[in-house]
Structure 1
């Protein structure tokens, strides 16, 4: 092997070692930039449960709606929503989610009859809970 070819080979190996480690020095050119598989994990699906402390109350009598949150960051506020006609309206009743995932919200309702309630946190909502106000 002539001297120029030896210097060129040593130079290529030295630059490859410097730039990308020993594997890059001896890898075929098509392997240097090969895509590596990416493994993505799906985030846990967020969910909320809800249970009223009573089935029936007098107007403006306080009760609680409690439950648990999964896949939602602790400290996130949950809000009570009431179905009024065809729309869900957020009430001023809120509570933060504890580190354990539990929450409990104090609620007072004045609309007599069966009230449909749910808990909301961002885009996640709980199943509907019914409380009768008499």
Structure 2
């Protein structure tokens, strides 16, 4: 090996050792070893979907409303809400969200005509589904 090359290599290692320790002499640049900064993000907004199994039923005929719940913990109860006049009224039909984030609840309606329904869990509500009762 060329004597000048050896002196240059030894000099570079010596400078590196003095500058930053033994790891610095042989390590890749620091930015290659730095972990990617973790940026805190807000949790995904909770959302519910809803779909009725039918669009028209006879009074007191059972049907189902099923859907998915995102950002809502398994076991949280979702409740059927019905628009009565200008207010949304919670019906006694509710079911828990399962571990896969879905739900299905049985519903019976007696108010004839077009019924607007939605699912609710706390302040999170689904889009409206319409079921006509004959």
Report if TM-score (shorter chain) is over 0.5. Answer: yes
Deviation (angstroms), 1:41:
1.9
What is aligned with 1:82? 82
* Matching residue of 1:97: 97
Partner of 1:65: 65
1:6-32 CA deviation, whole Å, 9 max, x = no partner?
Answer: xxxxxxxxxxxxxxxxxxxxxxxxxxx
Taking the aligned partners of 2:71 and 2:79, their CA distance within structure 1 comes to 16
Structure 1: gaps of 5 or more residues: 1-37
Establish whether residue 116 from structure 1 lines up as the match of residue 101 from structure 2: no
Give the TM-score, by structure 2 length.
Answer: 0.71
List, as ranges, runs of 4+ consecutive aligned residues in structure 1 with deviation greater than 3 Å: none
Aligned length: 98
Please give the per-residue CA displacement for 1:47-76, whole angstroms capped at 9, x wherever unaligned.
000000000000000000000000000000
Whole-angstrom distance in 1 between the partners of 2:121 and 2:106: 16
- Cα RMSD of the aligned pairs, angstroms, is 1.3
The corresponding residue for 1:10 is none
1:39 offset after TM fit, Å?
Answer: 4.3
Counterpart mapping for 1:1-134 below 5 A = 39-134=39-134
